[in-house]
Amino acid sequence: MTADQPIGIFDSGLGGLTVAAAVRKLLPNEKIIYLGDTARVPYGNRSPETIRTFAGQDAAFLISKNVKAIVAACNTVSATALTHLQEQFPGLHISGVIAPGADAAAGARRIAVLGTRATINSGAYVQALRERYGNELEIITKQCPLFVPMVEEGILDGPIAREVIRHYLEKIPEPDTILLGCTHYPLLTGAINEHYNGKVRIVDSADAAAADLKKYLEQAGLPAPADSHGSLQLYVSDIASGFREQASRFLGTEVPEPGKVTLTD
Indicate which residues carry an active-site annotation.
Answer: 74, 182
Tell me the sheet residues that pair with 31: 231
Name which position in 3, 26, 140, 146 contacts a second copy (CB under 8 A). 146
129/139 Cα distance (integer angstroms): 8
Q: Which stretch binds a second copy (CB under 8 A): 22-30, 150-158, 201-209, 251-259?
A: 150-158
Of 143 and 189, which CB lies nearer to a second copy in the complex structure?
143
Position 121 contacts a second copy (CB under 8 A): yes
CB 252 → a second copy: shortest distance, Å? 22
Give the nearest distance from C-beta 44 to a second copy in angstroms. Answer: 10
Distance set, CA 189 to CA 16, 31, 104, 202 (Å):
16, 27, 16, 7
Residue 69 CB-density burial (10 A; 0-12 exposed, 13-18 middle, 19+ buried):
buried
Instruction: Rank residues 241 and 264 by Cβ distance to a second copy and give the closer one.
Output: 241
The answer to whether the peptide bond before residue 42 is cis (omega within 30 degrees of 0) is yes
Residue with Cβ nearer a second copy (161 or 209): 161
Q: Residue 235's beta-bridge partner residues?
A: 35, 259
Binding-residue pattern over the window 72 to 111 for a second copy, x denoting contact by CB under 8 A: ----------------------------------------
For the window 221-260, what string marks contact with a second copy as x by the rule CB under 8 A? -----------------x-xxx------------------
Task: Write the DSSP assignment of 115-154 as a string of letters.
Answer: E-HHHHHHTHHHHHHHHHHGGGSEEEEEE-TTHHHHHHTT
Cα(79)–Cα(96) distance, integer angstroms: 8
Shortest separation between residue 166's beta carbon and a second copy, angstroms: 8
Indicate which single residue of 55, 69, 155, 182 sits in contact with a second copy (rule: CB under 8 A): 155
SS3 14: coil
d(C-alpha 92, C-alpha 64), whole Å: 13
Q: Judged by CB, which is closer to a second copy: 146, or 211?
A: 146
Q: By C-alpha distance, which of 185, 220, 250, 229 is closest to 38? A: 250
| Residue 44 or 100 with smaller CB distance to a second copy | 44
Site residues, a second copy (CB under 8 A): 41, 45, 117, 121, 145-146, 148-150, 152-153, 155, 159-160, 163-164, 167, 238, 240-242
